[in-house]
Structure 1
Amino acid sequence: MGRLCLHAHQHQGPVQGTVGPYPRLRPLVYAGARYRDPRAWRGRRIRRRRAGGGRVSGPQYRLPAHALTGGRIDRDRPLGFSFNGERFTGYAGDTLASALLAYGSFPLARGFKYHRPRGIFGTGAEEPNALVQLETGGRSQPNLRATQIELYGGLTASSVNAWPSVEFDLMRVNDWLSPIFPSGFYYKTFMGAGIGAGRWWRLFEPFIRRAAGFGRAPAAPDPDRYERMNAHCDVLVVGGGPAGLSAALAAANRGSRVILADEQAEPGGDLLAGDRSIDDAPAMDWVAAALGKLDAAPDVTVLRRTAVAGLYDDNFATAVESVGERFGPGAPEHLPRLRLWRIRARRIVLATGAHERPYAFANNDTPGVMLGNAIRHYAGRYAVAPGRQAVLGTNNDSAYRTALLLAQAGLAVTLADARETPPAALADAARNAGVAVEAGCVVSAVVGGRRVRGAKVGRVLPDGEISGAPRAVEADLVGVSGGWNPALHLASHRGAKPVWNEAQACFAPADLTALGVGAAGAAAGAEILADCLEQGYAAGRDAARAAGRTKRTRKPALKTDDGAAGAPIRPLWAVAERRSGGIGGKAFVDLQNDVTVKDVALAARENYRSVEHLKRYTTLGMGTDQGKTANVTGLALMGMETGRPPDAVGTTTFRPPYTPVPFGALAGRDRGALFDPVRETPMFDWHEANGAVFEDVGQWKRPYAYRRGGEALEAAIDREVRAVRNAAGVMDASTLGKIDLKGPDVVTLLNRVYTNDWETLKVGRARYGLMCHEDGMIFDDGVTARLADDHYLMTTTTGNAATVLGWLEMWLQTEWPELRVFATSVTEAYATATVAGPEARRLVSGLDSDIDWSDEAFPHMAVRTGTVLGAPARVFRVSFSGEASWEINVPAHCGPALWQALIDGGATPYGTEAMHVLRAEKGFIIVGQETDGTVTPHDLGMGWAVSKRKDFIGKRSYKRPDTARPDRKHLVGLLPLDSSTVLPEGGQIVNDPAQEPPVTMLGHVTSSYKSPSLDGGFALALLKNGRNRMGDTVHVLRLDEGADPARVVAPAFYDRDGGRMRG
């Protein structure tokens, strides 16, 4: 027969000179025997190059099909993939992480700061180490967790944050220089007093910033498709583990509309490890039955591969679904890569599970150190045991299941339980399986650099000290379990502060029942399967009842394999770095951001004791994993350093998203040409055909300038300005917001939203007005005309048309519903041509019209109605150029004819840039350019537009001390001493550019142009105490570190008395 298998699960590979028994015979040697052949299931070794350098064997750590209960992979569907340029093979059902672990625990990543080798640590969203760059070109995605990437044929991935390779990273020098890179080093290192203070930082800062980050954002456009979906339901269940499935079944059985969202490709949660039973059958049989019922229910939607990213007010949730059929080359192009779900639920059940946390010990970042439950899942779900000899360190019961599973798979297992008295039933079962259980012991250090070569195990005293010298244990795999943290992130998104659970040494979610949110299972602190099923059922039933579903159902009776009650957890956060038998080495708390136990202690010594200060000073929990395995440990260590319990230390703020969300998912189909609607005026075709260079103003395409032949853009602008100043120009002003106001209370509304008085405005006249927010700061301006006693037409800035309409509607609907006013947007109903210049009256008088254009009949700031070219028209005589000007509004379809008539009459078309030059010469403001949300009318010298006799929105704010300061920034004009200079817009204004830092910034340039009328450059600026500095010389800083001197003048440069626009 040729071979003999000594234990039941030994791989029946080619072992010379042995005899194999009938497969169902009992083993001759129990699985944990120390003298069994360590090559038992190693299989044929295939030598190949390691990804990134060195050499690596074939998938020798893949368990044979009969070694466990089966796993969730499909061995009949092998999949080839590439990592760091090398070819590997996995199976359908694998993740990238499990497929790579089948080849061993080699380095596939580097730490953020010290660039130490890192391997796979977890199995899901908690993974801090294994960040990879997936695919290339436009489809490249940076910083994805290998643990969450489903394997597909042709997958290409690479390591990040390593140069030149992950095997040999030159930035590892940071580890050897770590004394100069402590917590907050960027606040201290290179910044000491003395010679060259600050200069060293300026030298090294570019290199430090360049070294920051992990992956690289793709430079090419993303060719994939994305979708957004909206959904409503009675009950949203987040999480597809035993509690989530039980809750979904309970809610569905009561007739509720249910959405079940689970982030994994296959629901089941912790049951996917395959070593649990329900009703004396494999637990996954119950999962399959539950999913069958839910999939068949008409009002139930099961969203697989869907991570709920955020929870907001009124039970609004966002979730991101990965479309599985879209994975890999050759996938259907019509399918999106991701869908963003916007879900509105009456009630929400959070069955999000819990994250296992480690405790810290020396060199706990070495590849081959993993979370205990992660090892269990890789073995049970993916049939991968990434080692031969495992050491497990724990302070709770959960690691015993991992130990039993590994022993069943044929590994030599040592279990170090920090508790002096482990649960007898679990300890006996482990010992009977061949596990060496060492009570009162901890893993104190790992031996090895690029991978685990051994471990140190020592006895731990009640105060956390190591008793005596730890002993060496041969190992190539180390698992650690320091307890469990309920995944309470979504609950905290609603603003509820987590509650410390002393018995379980973790933070639990607060009671959110009043908000329609409940928690169940491990997310609520349940530790055994029976409690998860019980709590899930109760939460689903109660949610359905609260949503109005009263159908009565019978609670199922389920038998679980929980066994006898276990022992309580022994809180354990860290084994100090020098308590490791002379090995030394860093003990990491946050593996992604390289935060060590010493870093937390340093923050405490330097008085960064607030959790928010600790987070930012050390970067604890600020990585892509948001500290899912690190935060609680770091907070507990801070408590130990400062003599406070964890609940007194508190937690940092949990903010959405729970896991990173690609921008493509947020954008959906609204990108490229669909990113924002493109609005074109009725005269757009004429502009395009006549050399217009367009700019985007809000959603509108507006002519920036009109080039003639090969004319330079600056020359075209100068020509247009001269035409308006010396003859007549015409501008397309159709984009200005136009709001039709009707009703007997319009004047009351105007008096409340504008700063000036509107009671005295007569029919046929127009008035300029400023709108302010409640803080008294300007947010829009415009001209409003009175067409009849109860009929007004309001104009707004182009970009704020929709905002102003929404502002009016908000006040009319929420605060002043008694006002009888109808507000209607008519922006696109009219085409508007603005004719300006000393020849403008002659030009408009030549049009076929019944309007009297004379100054006596049509004075400045008047409005007239009539016909122009046979079309009904409303004409405003207002000026934004400083010249006599008429804005002619006709129905949109009549706009091209009106425009052509004006062009034929001799008008020169001018664009927005010429308009800016013209208005700035007059000192007229543009909202959003001379204002930035911190500017009042008085700052701009427009106190004349603020009524003292009436109330309006924002008036009370002018009595605040800061708003009433006499030395606020004022609008002024600036004339460069060198007339050929055009000051940079946004340039900061200082008194003396040669002053040693810190330099006081006095203001900034808001608008700057070259004017053919002034024969040189000029600018508008906001300058501190500017109105009292007329004639002073200030300096405007440039980006090249130079400065331009300029003289402070009044903000009106041209026709200061306004005679030209009124003539």
Structure 2
Amino acid sequence: MAADPHRLADGGRIDRSRPLRFRFDGRDYQGFAGDTLASALLANGVRIAARSFKYHRPRGIMGAGVEEPAVLVELEGDVASGNRPATTVPLIEGLAARSVNAWPSARLDLGAVNQLFARLIPAGFYYKTFKWPDWHLYEPSIRRLAGLAGAPKEPPERAYESRHAHADILIAGAGPAGLMAALVAGRAGARVFIADEGTEAGGALLNRNLTIGGQPAKDWVAAAVAELAGMENVTHLQNATVWAYREHNLLMVQERAPGNPSLLGRNWRVRAGQAITATGAIERMMVFQGNDRPGVMLASAAQAYVNRWAVRPGSRAVIFTNNDSAYAAAADLAQGGVGIAAIVDSRAAVPDHAMALVPDIAVHAGQAVTSVHGRGRVRGVSIAPCIGGTARRMPCDLLAVSGGWNPAVHLYSQSRSKIVWDKRIASFVPAEPAQAVLAAGAANGAMGLGDALAEGAARAVAALAALGQRSDVPALPETDDTPYTVTPFWTASGAGAKAFLDIQNDVTVADIELALREGYSNIEHLKRYTTGGMGIDQGKTGNVNIIGAVAERQGITPDQVGVTTFRPPYTPVEFGAIAGRRAGPVVLPYRHTPLTRWHKDNGAVMYEAGARWRRPGYYPRAGESFQDTVNREARCVREGVGIYDGAPLGKYEIKGPDAGAFLDWIYTNVMSSLTVGNGRYGLMLTDDGLILDDGVAVCLAPDRFLISTSTGNADPVGQYMEKLLQIERPDWRVKITNVTSQWANATICGPKAREVMAAMGSDIDLSPDAFPFMAFRDGQVADLPARVVRVSFTGELSFEVNVRPRDLPALWEAAMVAGAPFDIAPIGSEANHVLRVEKGFLSLGHEVDGTVDPHDLGMSWVMSRKKDDFVGKRSVELRRASGRSRRELVGIRPLDPNRQVPEGAPLTPGGRKEATEGFVTACVWSVVENRWLGLALLTDGRARIGGRAHVRLPDEVIEVELSDPVFHDPKGERLRS
């Protein structure tokens, strides 16, 4: 096991008493608790840790947090995941990782051959090449090369979960501004939710040697965290990124280490009254030839490795900057034992406060690094005056760069709030908010520590005021941070095909120039043409540099170029975290009827039905196969009596003076002529004349109707009716009320249904004359108030008994007791499917597939000729006027009565491999005919009844006879009995 030769003898926030072993690219190393994978690799002298996306150039660690653009790794074992920045992976015992996009390893990558062809694969090359002779010739190879890490081959042993939370104030970021905001809001009693992406709170304070109130800033952080931990009204999460900002102040938070050993992660959905983005700022790269070479690192990252992880990232460093922050980094590097060869500052004059930080270090003002020397690592740099002059070489093994700081406006921008260019800091900052959001600290352009604390407190007070709570800004402690000034420096002289603007996506200055030459001057177009700012990086280190480079080449300012759209997620989020624990329904819970427990207790196999209902599929008995059970239940209804739970059926009450006219408009037949106590079957069409749903409307009063819909379409039908009423007929006096959950029902069906109803006891006259088919009666059934409707989905005599949901269990038990002498049995959706196919009744998702109108299903009788108009009428007439052939509903019987035909199987002419002429919508074992039969939609099907058709399967052709789609009781005598 290799030692860690670059580890400082003391210091840092690591626990040297807890060494940890880990493996990277097949080699064993050692780090300490508190390390990240990146800091441990640097401590062990690993320089080349990755290969670039397109050119497979060697890459080393450049950042210290989520901004890391170069080194993505694939984790193995129980924590398996891909494309993780090495800087965000906490070191654990036995961690196994490997570099992505490299084979066999990052140090020796055969894909590096791409560098030889770099000139042939510039930005947008995939739009221009691989077209001759055929794209499909190249496609397999290109797809194998695309992407970075692979998806884990096995699901993790540990799970993810989702949680919902509500907060008065959500704070994104636990740096100085975020902690101060949390303290002010928490002390005021507000419900505070604070989430920070670091493993520890403190943000940049963990990486720098600053003081707050005369004490080390890290001590102030510890005291703030302890105070927040003692507040019951504060939820504080670390290693948790606020990765998305959605409508109505809904924010998404991924918690990567929930503290529960059974969980890999947790995704929070937080609804906040106010949000404060204290997300800090991200240092940007400097752009020159070879700026991606291992050993080139952000100055703030080098500073963090020395101060936080006690790692010396190099022995002799050159600092290249255009702002003041790099001087503090240089001072800390020097104190950590890194020799500083020089500071190269592109500014003509360096402020005195910056020079005071490095009195013993040579500063070359008005100069720039133009290129890097060394193949697998930095061995020296060339520097030259910014305005003319001769370049000279300076040896070093570390080049720490700082191109200025970009406020992390990603989350703020996701809220659809505006961001604008700020010349003072040469970057984009938050402007007018679109939602209840405020920005604080460096995320708002306040780069000084004192300013960050002040803004955090002020934003908390403002957020509290918006919530109606009063609070005052507390007295703020003194700080020792120095001022921040910056002069933009976008690209060095000679920057071209090896000067990278987007390190992660291999986007160079030459790519930007090519895009501009080809007319892609709009920044959004240029982004897509070059892929700059896309992917995992989301423009963290390169976005503003790209905008600056475009502005520089067009002779305009960055604010005239504009900014691209920031989209979630801010950092990669596992699909498992988004889905959460899915062992059962979580986000959209199942809907249960009052009989769910009874069904389960009596052995029902539960199905998920439309609109997320749980319904019994079938009730197997001991020794029965699936088919045996379905046959028994179907035969029970055909020959005796059965009962099924119809509670999920959609139900709406339509009331008002214009209710009858409204129903006439949305149904194809006339409903307004219904008299009280009677109902009628009807179809609803969409605007394009296709069947939307079917159901029964019953008249409760002259201005009041109750309509039923299919279970799965209950919600869409309700939305459809509301849309029509509010947009097309806002003057009509109609109220629509969803009463699906107000009424539950048990449907008693079969030849003996009337006898069971009589045995249950009812004050309703159940005789056929007094209570005909398609009528309803209110009364008592089994001493329960009920509304009974004579409708049938099975083709047999049926009584749909509707009661209050709390009464359904008692009604069901009464029916089972009264029906026992008649061998009553519960039936599930499988038997119902058989019964409706035998009767030729339509079903959504089967015959009603979004392509058929009533004529196709042989239901022309339901299309009223008395009405001037109804929804979809004109569309049907236009379609019919074309005279084109249509697929029509027919019955099918396989020539082999014992041969089942798969539902959905295509019908083709003669069974040949060519365009289909239809498909099988349903196929069941019929208890009426004792054989397999089914329904199909077939081109010109009705004209072909009596003939044959062919069902094509992958390995055979099944010949079927075509018949009328009604196999049982075609005159409807049994259901009217």
Q: TM class, shorter-chain normalised? A: 0.7 to 0.9
Cα offset for 1:200?
A: 0.5
In structure 2, C-alpha distance between the alignment counterparts of 1:969 and 1:642, rounded to whole Å? 60
Please state if 1:973 is matched with 2:853.
Answer: no
Match for residue 521 of structure 1? Answer: 441
In structure 1, C-alpha distance between the alignment counterparts of 2:910 and 2:113, rounded to whole Å? 43
Cα offset for 1:377?
A: 1.2
Please state if 1:1007 is matched with 2:921.
Answer: yes
Match for residue 628 of structure 1? Answer: 540
Equivalent runs, 1:677-756 vs 2, <5 Å: 677=590, 679=592, 682=595, 694-698=606-610, 699-704=612-617, 713=626, 727=639, 730=642, 732-737=644-649, 739=651, 741=653, 747=659, 751=663, 754-755=666-667
Cα offset for 1:704?
A: 3.9
Relative distance call for 1:91 and 1:710 in structure 2 (3 A) is: same
Contact 2:457 2:473 (8 Å CA) reproduced: no
Contact 2:747 2:798 (8 Å CA) reproduced: no
Please state if 1:283 is matched with 2:283.
Answer: no
Please state if 1:876 is matched with 2:789.
Answer: yes
Match for residue 456 of structure 1? Answer: 381
Match for residue 500 of structure 1? Answer: 421
In structure 2, C-alpha distance between the alignment counterparts of 1:181 and 1:896, rounded to whole Å? 75
Match for residue 314 of structure 2? Answer: 387
Contact 1:430 1:437 (8 Å CA) reproduced: no
In structure 2, C-alpha distance between the alignment counterparts of 1:868 and 1:678, rounded to whole Å? 26
In structure 2, C-alpha distance between the alignment counterparts of 1:940 and 1:556, rounded to whole Å? 77
Please state if 1:510 is matched with 2:431.
Answer: yes
Equivalent runs, 1:427-576 vs 2, <5 Å: 428-429=355-356, 432-435=359-362, 437=364, 439-449=366-376, 452-459=377-384, 471-512=392-433, 515-553=435-473, 555-556=475-476, 558-562=478-482, 566=485, 568-572=487-491, 576=495
Partner SS state of residue 304, structure 2: helix
Contact 1:391 1:414 (8 Å CA) reproduced: yes
Cα offset for 1:423?
A: 0.7
Cα offset for 1:411?
A: 2.0
Query: Which structure 2 segments of 5+ residues have no match?
Result: none
Relative distance call for 1:1034 and 1:273 in structure 2 (3 A) is: farther
Cα offset for 1:103?
A: 1.1
Cα offset for 1:422?
A: 3.9
Contact 1:780 1:800 (8 Å CA) reproduced: yes
The one-letter code of the counterpart of 2:416 is: G
Please state if 1:244 is matched with 2:175.
Answer: no
Please state if 1:60 is matched with 2:11.
Answer: no
In structure 1, C-alpha distance between the alignment counterparts of 2:299 and 2:952, rounded to whole Å? 58
In structure 2, C-alpha distance between the alignment counterparts of 1:447 and 1:172, rounded to whole Å? 16
Contact 2:682 2:862 (8 Å CA) reproduced: yes
In structure 2, C-alpha distance between the alignment counterparts of 1:179 and 1:1004, rounded to whole Å? 53
Aligned sequence identity (%) = 38
Equivalent runs, 1:573-588 vs 2, <5 Å: 576-577=495-496, 586-588=498-500
Match for residue 68 of structure 2? Answer: 127
Relative distance call for 1:1018 and 1:471 in structure 2 (3 A) is: farther
Match for residue 94 of structure 1? Answer: 35
Which of 236, 241, 245 is the matching residue for 1:311?
245
Relative distance call for 1:523 and 1:798 in structure 2 (3 A) is: same
In structure 2, C-alpha distance between the alignment counterparts of 1:951 and 1:555, rounded to whole Å? 76
- The farther-off stretch of 377-386 and 648-657 is 648-657
Please state if 1:831 is matched with 2:746.
Answer: yes
Match for residue 264 of structure 1? Answer: 198
Cα offset for 1:855?
A: 4.4
Aligned residue pairs, count:
963
Contact 2:709 2:717 (8 Å CA) reproduced: yes
Match for residue 591 of structure 1? Answer: 503
1:556-584 C-alpha deviation (Å, 9 max, x unpaired): 36353415x74523233895345xxxxxx
Contact 1:251 1:544 (8 Å CA) reproduced: yes
Cα offset for 1:484?
A: 2.3
Relative distance call for 1:1029 and 1:435 in structure 2 (3 A) is: farther
Contact 1:237 1:350 (8 Å CA) reproduced: yes
1:470-492 C-alpha deviation (Å, 9 max, x unpaired): 55443332333233221111211
The one-letter code of the counterpart of 2:790 is: R
In structure 1, C-alpha distance between the alignment counterparts of 2:955 and 2:132, rounded to whole Å? 25
In structure 1, C-alpha distance between the alignment counterparts of 2:904 and 2:748, rounded to whole Å? 31
Contact 1:395 1:571 (8 Å CA) reproduced: no
In structure 1, C-alpha distance between the alignment counterparts of 2:165 and 2:173, rounded to whole Å? 19
In structure 1, C-alpha distance between the alignment counterparts of 2:967 and 2:45, rounded to whole Å? 76
In structure 1, C-alpha distance between the alignment counterparts of 2:132 and 2:555, rounded to whole Å? 31
Partner SS state of residue 432, structure 1: coil
The one-letter code of the counterpart of 1:122 is: G
Cα offset for 1:101?
A: 1.9
Please state if 1:145 is matched with 2:80.
Answer: no
Contact 1:983 1:1019 (8 Å CA) reproduced: no
1:985-1043 C-alpha deviation (Å, 9 max, x unpaired): 66799999999xxx9x99985834367569777655598xx899989x99999896999
- The farther-off stretch of 255-264 and 366-375 is 255-264
Contact 1:417 1:442 (8 Å CA) reproduced: yes
In structure 1, C-alpha distance between the alignment counterparts of 2:478 and 2:196, rounded to whole Å? 23
Cα offset for 1:770?
A: 5.2
Match for residue 216 of structure 1? Answer: 151
Relative distance call for 1:227 and 1:915 in structure 2 (3 A) is: closer
Relative distance call for 1:239 and 1:220 in structure 2 (3 A) is: closer
Relative distance call for 1:1004 and 1:665 in structure 2 (3 A) is: farther
Contact 1:972 1:1049 (8 Å CA) reproduced: no
Please state if 1:338 is matched with 2:250.
Answer: no
Cα offset for 1:421?
A: 0.9
What's the Cα RMSD here?
Answer: 5.2
In structure 1, C-alpha distance between the alignment counterparts of 2:67 and 2:972, rounded to whole Å? 68
TM-score w.r.t. the length of structure 1 is 0.75
Relative distance call for 1:808 and 1:198 in structure 2 (3 A) is: closer
Match for residue 32 of structure 1? Answer: none
In structure 1, C-alpha distance between the alignment counterparts of 2:859 and 2:182, rounded to whole Å? 63
Cα offset for 1:747?
A: 4.4
In structure 1, C-alpha distance between the alignment counterparts of 2:99 and 2:831, rounded to whole Å? 53
The one-letter code of the counterpart of 2:829 is: T
Match for residue 294 of structure 2? Answer: 367
1:147-190 C-alpha deviation (Å, 9 max, x unpaired): 22333455454444544444444555555565675545555544
Contact 1:112 1:214 (8 Å CA) reproduced: no
Match for residue 137 of structure 2? Answer: 200
Partner SS state of residue 355, structure 1: strand
In structure 2, C-alpha distance between the alignment counterparts of 1:180 and 1:902, rounded to whole Å? 81
The one-letter code of the counterpart of 2:646 is: S
- The farther-off stretch of 503-512 and 985-994 is 985-994
Partner SS state of residue 437, structure 1: strand
Relative distance call for 1:716 and 1:184 in structure 2 (3 A) is: farther
Which of 781, 795, 813 is the matching residue for 2:708?
795
Match for residue 165 of structure 2? Answer: 230
Relative distance call for 1:856 and 1:592 in structure 2 (3 A) is: farther
Which of 334, 338, 342 is the matching residue for 1:411?
338
The one-letter code of the counterpart of 2:570 is: Y
The one-letter code of the counterpart of 1:146 is: A
